[in-house]
Amino acid sequence: MASPGDLTVRSGRVKVARRLATRAFRAKTGEFLAEGPQAVREALTVPEAVIEVFATVDATERHREMVDHAPAWHVVTDDVVEAIADAVTPQGVVARCRSILTTLDVVDADARLVVVCAEIRDPGNLGAVIRCADAAGADAVVVAGESVDALNPKVVRATAGSLFHLPVAVEPDPIGVVSALRDRGLQVLAADGAGRTALFDEDLDLSRPTAWLMGNEAHGLPEELTAVADRVVRVPIRGRAESLNLATAAAVCLYASAREHG
């Protein structure tokens, strides 16, 4: 274990970690950052995901249980963690990790619940949807089309460790994803406030294996996607709220399916 001061903000490995804030460098290296004790703790449960950990003296003392599980644990000064971390108020520990993203091949014929995030641009929203999917027991999340990078530091933080609990696939073609999931026996339901079917309508069979399509925060799902869905489903608004935010709508839909799956 390195001692504070052995690594500085000018050290080569620190500079590499800092550059992982950019999407281009993450794509080039196949690496990303996990910030905070919860994310690092969960990353360490995934074999070979973590390359090295940078932690302050205080964070190292508070999280001793993680030190022995890390392939390399560098005790560094606060300014090093602040230089690497994306958060405004870092929590003292950051892990440099290998990408754990996968492809649609991870979804097999036994899948019961999948979330497809199409054109989601806000990293906090994508992270929250991944966290909801994990909580509801989904088999996978598919990030499709021109969505935000699933390994963006803000996405990773917003998942609160859930990124390391279930497969997250990245696919460029949302319509191709819909076709492939239907071939695997899943019904495809598009969540949209203008849907003709309400979530709790009696003729909506949520006991079937289901893929939920979730769209862009501001514009919803593009017409070409709602057109290929089996149904377009709205979450009914009982009060005077104009709409639900993306993560809340995802949670409601996913738990409705999870309840029927038992």
The pLDDT tens digits for 205-257 are 999 999 999 998 777 888 899 999 999 999 998 998 888 899 999 999 999 99
> Which tens digit of pLDDT belongs to each residue from 79-122?
999 999 998 889 999 999 999 999 999 998 899 999 999 999 99
As a whole number of angstroms, the distance between CA 220 and CA 231 comes to 15
Size of the chain in residues: 262
As a whole number of angstroms, the distance between CA 101 and CA 242 comes to 35
- Residue 39 CA: distances (Å) to CA of 35, 48, 97, 141, 209: 6, 15, 11, 18, 30
- Residue 173 CA: distances (Å) to CA of 103, 115, 144, 224, 244: 12, 15, 6, 12, 26
- Residue 78 CA: distances (Å) to CA of 13, 41, 82, 86, 231: 16, 20, 6, 14, 52
CATH architecture of structural domain 12-98: 2-Layer Sandwich (3.30)
Question: Mutual orientation of helices 246-261 and 123-135 as an angle, nearest 10°?
Answer: 20
CATH architecture of structural domain 104-261: 3-Layer(aba) Sandwich (3.40)
Mean pLDDT of the chain: 94
- Cut 0.85: pTM above it: yes
What's the pLDDT score for residue 3?
63
Residues of the chain with CATH 3.30.1330.30: 12-98
CA nearest neighbour of 129 among 144, 117, 111: 117
> Which tens digit of pLDDT belongs to each residue from 173-203?
999 999 999 999 999 999 998 889 999 999 9
Counting residues of the chain whose pLDDT is more than 90, the rounded percentage is 85
Rounded average pLDDT over 125-137: 97
Q: Which structure tokens are listed for 251?
A: 């949670």
Is the pLDDT at 5 greater than 70, yes or no? no
